[in-house]
Structure 1
Amino acid sequence: MMNLFKKSIAGTSVLALALSVTTVSFVSVSPTAAHAERGGNGKGNGNSNRNRSRSENSRSDNARGGSERGRVARELRGLNAAHANQNALENASGDSMPGKLYVYQQAQQEYSDLAAIEAAAGDKYLSLLALTEDERAALFPAAAVEETVVVEGEEQTAVAYDEAAYDAAVGAALADLAEAEADAQEAETTLQTSLDVLTKGDELSDAALAELNRLLGL
């Protein structure tokens, strides 16, 4: 869900430009004909053709960019109220479009915060599972006397750690992760509901959703 509400339009723009490369056809003109037509060596005409091609390509790119922006604006329709300043959004009636935009904005921020907490809880849990014997001993030292063991015919001091303390830490980290996941899922549901209210159940394109989030500072 986080990807759904944080997508960028960069990939779409790059693809549009890649597909819009214009093929330029060059017409071969004999030196004699070019010289006779322009009274010179014919270089001026070739440069002029290339300049016109570059100018036409530039106008074409600008037109495509303007067309995309216009399409996104039409898709957003009333959601363009997101242009309003933050104070106006905060003080708008809950039934108005600015008010609904504010609810969505806050739901998005809440979800982002809780998703970050979930990710941190997951990292902590996995890091505990990945601890080596030495690392466990350093973090959860055992109160018992160290034990001597024989490894490949040589006596070595066994690395001891407090298994009960370690297991308790792992269990607590797992519980924190489960709670963080539940909170993030609830926030995700709230976020989707607020978006559905905005769009009346219609699905926005990636470009339109990215523009809406940009306007709201998300």
Structure 2
Amino acid sequence: MNHALRLTLSLSLAAALMAPGKGSLSPFAATPAFADKGDKGDKDGGSDKGSDKGSEKGSDKGSDKGSGKGSDKSADRGAEKASKSAEKAERAAARDAVRNAVEVSSTASGTVEETGKTKGAKGKVASELKGLNAMHASPTALANAAPNSRVGRIAAYRAAALATSASLATSQEAEAELAAAQAGYDAALADLDALTTDYAGRSAAVIQADIDALDAAAPNYDSSAASLAEEMEEAQAHAAEVEAATADLAEAQSALSAEQAEYAALSGDVSALEAQEQAALMEATGGRILSDEAMDELRTALGL
């Protein structure tokens, strides 16, 4: 029985419990058997009263009416009150039953609906894959399958995809090395720029010209010569730094060029392998373009 039918029966049962029944017997009402006995008793009482004297008859009637009416009214009120309490309890129980039935049915139907959706989606993907469901073949079957068989074409696609993945991983490593080489070149260039831009001294050639022009007979020759010699030392040290920075830049440039060439070659390999992988996929699918969900299912089954 499905959950919708359960909910309908639960609601019907609760409605039946809550509705006042026509012709139903109150738990406090007399049964037909006892009612007949009461009628018979009334008839017998009438015969007896006919044989009684007038004074006794009047006295009995007054007594019966006084006591009988009081007892009957009290019993009727008690029975009516008890009946209403019982009906009220039944309605409350029915409402609780309906509420519980609705909650249970809603929870169950939600779970079933979710499970149904999942199964439906898997069934749709499996239907789309068609012959590609042979992807679940064992590794041995994939390795030994005939090239033109369905399993063989799936195995060829798997091999092409693995080759693409390996080449792509190598290309990504080369890309990281290229980025490092670029960073090294940028740093070497910045160092050389700083040396040439921040230096405010004169070149060694200019200083040497001043040294050559000194007059040995001049009274300040010694001090001038000492000053120029100190300046020359600083200029020569700076020139050595520039020369080293220039060499570092050249080396960084060479490394960068090599990484650029390697990355370009690997990128070309990846492109070629991706084309081969796509061709293998078309062979396996028979030229069909699969949805993303079907491709995910295929690649997951093949360990890609």
TM-based fold match above 0.5? yes
SS in 1 for 2:199: strand
Q: Which residue is equivalent to 2:199?
A: 150
What's 1:180 paired with? 266
Distance 1:216 1:69, change over 3 A: same
Distance 1:76 1:124 in 2: 40
Query: Where in structure 2 are there 5+ consecutive unaligned residues?
Result: 1-17, 20-87, 201-233
Does 1 or 2 have the higher relative contact order (CA < 8 Å, sep 6+)? Answer: 1
In 2, Cα distance between equivalents of 1:148 and 1:195: 59
1:36, distance to aligned residue in structure 2 (A): 5.4
**Which residue of structure 2 lines up, in the alignment, with residue 130 of structure 1?**
183
State the shift of 1:169 in Å: 0.2
Map 1:206-217 → 2, pairs under 5 A: 206-217=292-303
1-side partners of 2:122 and 2:250: how far apart?
Answer: 61
Number of the residue aligned with 1:198: 284
Partner of 2:136: 83
For normalisation by structure 2, the TM-score amounts to: 0.52
More helix by share: 2
Identity %: 31
Q: 1:67 aligns with which of 111, 120, 125?
A: 120
Matched, 1:98 2:151: yes
CA distance in 1, matches of 2:144, 2:160: 16
Deviations 1:131-174 (A, max 9, x none): 376x549xxxx9xxx989537xxx99768252221111000000
Residues 46-105 of structure 1: CA deviation (Å, up to 9, x unaligned): 233111101011111111111111111111111111111111100010010111111000
Partner secondary structure for residue 107 of structure 2: helix
Report the secondary structure of 1:131's partner residue.
Answer: helix
Q: Structure 2 CA distance, aligned partners of 1:132 and 1:77?
A: 54
TM-score by length of 1: 0.70
- Which one of 81, 100, 107 corresponds to residue 47 of structure 1? 100
Cα 1:38–1:201 change in 2 (3 A) is same
Q: Distance in 2 between matches of 1:76 and 1:179?
A: 36
Structural RMSD (CA): 3.1
* Structure 1 residue 39: Cα displacement: 4.5
* Separation (CA, whole Å) in 2 of partners of 1:183 and 1:122: 14
Aligned residues: 176
Residues 83 and 39 of structure 1: CA distance in aligned 2, closer, same or farther (over 3 Å): same
Shift of 1:121: 1.4
Cα deviation 1:10-37 (Å, max 9, x = unaligned) = xxxxxxxxxxxxxxxxxxxxxxx69555
Q: Which moved more, 1:34-43 or 1:66-75?
A: 34-43
Counterpart amino acid of residue 123 in structure 1: A
Equivalent residues of 2:160, 2:273 under 8 A apart: yes
- 1:172–1:46 CA distance, 2 compared to 1 (3 A): same
Specify the alignment match of 2:82 in structure 1: none
User: 1:57 is paired with a residue of what secondary structure?
Assistant: helix
Aligned to 2:287, what secondary structure does the other structure show? coil
